[in-house]
Copies of this chain bind each other. A is one copy, B any other.
Amino acid sequence: MTATRGRGRPRAPETDTAILTAALELFVERGVEGTSMEQVAKRAGVGKLTLYRRWSSKEDLLAQAIEQEVRAEVIPSAADVQALRPRDIVEHVLPAAAEMAASPGFRALVARIMGSAVSHPELMQVYWKHYILPRRELAAAMLRRAQQDGAVAADADLDVLIDMMAGAVTYRVLRPDPPDTAGMLRYLTAVYRQAGLYPPAADG
């Protein structure tokens, strides 16, 4: 901690982690409008200037906090989708997806991101790029494979079908009385089946 950078001392990495964690918590609890740089600094136990040295605005800080939260997920590769049986892929993917979709923290984060989609589209952009797009690419690979197998119609509009699958799940997560993990797994299974991605065991 002897070198200098910019106007002040370099921060330890754990300071950044504390700031990003505090920012994400406040965003989930109170939304963009209910969160201020002062509150984040206070909760992270740092000075307000420490925040402004790195992030020029609350929106920049929240965008990075969201990116860090959602980008860690791992998904099957496109090569896996070609190599494995559709049924095995679905059975591999769905339990983890159900657990995430049913968790209160994820539910609250998705609600806040959707809620800021119009007032702060830059937060939705971050979520879209780092969370949604990789999963859309996986779904597209699964649907193309299912088209080859004849389980999904050759003339289906895959972009629309992916919206329908992802939209249904988002919708189910945010509607009143959300299901628990077991209920969410049944729900995801029904969505995949309706889309043509979960054939009966004999065909898988």
- Interfacial residues, chain A to chain B (CB-CB below 8 A): 29-34, 104, 107-108, 111-112, 114-119, 121, 124-125, 128, 156-157, 160-161, 163-172, 174-176, 187, 190-191, 193-195
Q: From the candidates B161, B169, B191, name the one contacting A194 in the complex (CB within 8 A).
A: B161
A174–B117 contact, CB under 8 A?
A: yes
Question: Which label, helix, strand, loop or mixed, suits the secondary structure of the A interface?
Answer: helix
Q: Which residues of B contact A125 (CB under 8 A)?
A: 176
Q: Which residues of B contact A30 (CB under 8 A)?
A: 33, 119
Q: How many monomers of this chain does the complex have? A: 2
A118 with B108: in contact, given A167-B170, A170-B167, A194-B160 (CB under 8 Å)?
Answer: yes
Q: Which residues of B contact A166 (CB under 8 A)?
A: 167, 171
Q: From the candidates B115, B128, B163, B193, name the one contacting A176 in the complex (CB within 8 A).
A: B128
Whole-angstrom CA separation of A132 from B121 in the bound complex: 25
Q: Distance (Å) between the CB of A67 and the closest chain B CB? A: 15
